[in-house]
Every structure is written in structure tokens, then in C-alpha cells.
Amino acid sequence: MRLRCPFAAASVWWTGRDNEVMRKRVLGSTLLPSEAANGHEWLKLQDLAEVEVTSEADGYPIETVFNFGAGPGWRAASPGIQRIRLVFDQPQSIRRMRLQFNEPDVARTQEFTVRWSGYSDELLKDVVRQQWNFSPNGSTAESEDFAIDLKRVSILELTIDPDRGAGEALAKLADWRLA
């Protein structure tokens, strides 16, 4: 197929592989803008907060969800609703949140809620509430990337209802990042 370049002199033609007009740059393995945290580093939560969790299965510790995808992720030790709470040493501003859930084995409908508070004695306010249907033969992963604008966050809590109240499935979380 031959294409005519509307931006060049009338005599310039190229095929799909012979692009003489387009400027380009080979990025290699650098992060694309969608992977970077809006020009900011992802927070190193291990250094900034204490994590509280309702349970954790052997071999799936909660700290692995804060390792930027390195590790097995977290899994609850028992079925039912689970909570993961970050209690920050100093209040933080949070502009972006990324969550990754994987479920390759069980068909289920999960609901998660993220809430926050600026003070330890203040009621938690909803940031996001969402449902997802997992299916071993189809959708086995949920990846969410939220642009948020929270100032002076002291507590950030993720509640996972792994099977919308049935109480039979285990909650799982692969990755949780904040910027």
C-alpha cells in the first residue's frame, strides 16, 4: 500500500515501512507517562505508614502489596470481608492510587471500598466503591488507577468483600500504590 503524505511536497511518497516524515524516538525500557505517577514518585509506604490487616495467609504477607509488583501479593487467612488500613506517621497528600486484584481460580463478584480520614478520631469518608466480576475463563484480573485529590490523609482504609457477603471466598490483593 502506498500512502501520500499530505504534509510534504507533492512528490514525497512512502510505503507503510518507509516513513521519511515522522519524527520518532525509541524509548527502550523507560516508563511510559501512564506508568509514572504523574511526575511524582510512588510513595514508599513501608517508610511512611504502619499497616493494619484483619488477617493474612501464610506465604502471602501484606507487605508484598507495597513492593511495586514484586512478590506474591496478599491473601486473607479466612473467608469474608477483610480490611487493610494504612496509618500514616505524618499526614500525606495523595493524588493517585493504583490497585491490582488477581483471581485466576474462582468465579466471584468482589466489592471494594477505599475510605480516608484526616484525623484518627474522625469518621472515614468514601473515596471509591467498586464491584468486579472475576471469571477463570475470562476476567481474572482487575486493575484500577484513580486520580484523586486527598490532603492531609492520616488513615487510608481498603475494605474488600471478596464475594459480596457470601462469606466463602478469600480476599486477595496483588498491588497497592499511592502517589
Give pLDDT tens digits for 43-53. Answer: 999 999 999 99
Beta-strand ranges (E) seen in the chain are 2-4, 13-15, 49-53, 74-75, 82-102, 108-117, 125-134, 141-161, 172-173, 175-178
Say if residue 2's pLDDT is above 60: no
* pLDDT for residue 14: 42
Sign of CA dihedral 76, 78, 81, 87: negative
User: Which pLDDT band holds residue 165 (cuts at 50, 70, 90)?
Assistant: confident
* pLDDT for residue 1: 44
3-state secondary structure of 13: strand
Which residues make Cβ contacts (< 8 Å) with residue 1, sequence separation at least 6? 15, 16
Sign of CA dihedral 16, 17, 19, 24: positive
* pLDDT for residue 87: 97
Q: Quickly count: other Cβ atoms within 10 Å of residue 122's Cβ.
A: 11
Query: Under a CB-based contact definition with an 8 Å cutoff, are residues 164 and 128 in contact?
Result: no
Q: Which carries the bigger pLDDT value, residue 69 or residue 26?
A: 69
pTM above 0.85, yes or no: no
User: Which pLDDT band holds residue 70 (cuts at 50, 70, 90)?
Assistant: confident
What does residue 107 show for φ and ψ, rounded to 5 degrees? -75, 125
Q: For the segment 55-65, what is each residue's pLDDT rounded down to a tens digit?
A: 999 999 999 99
Say if residue 164's pLDDT is above 90: yes
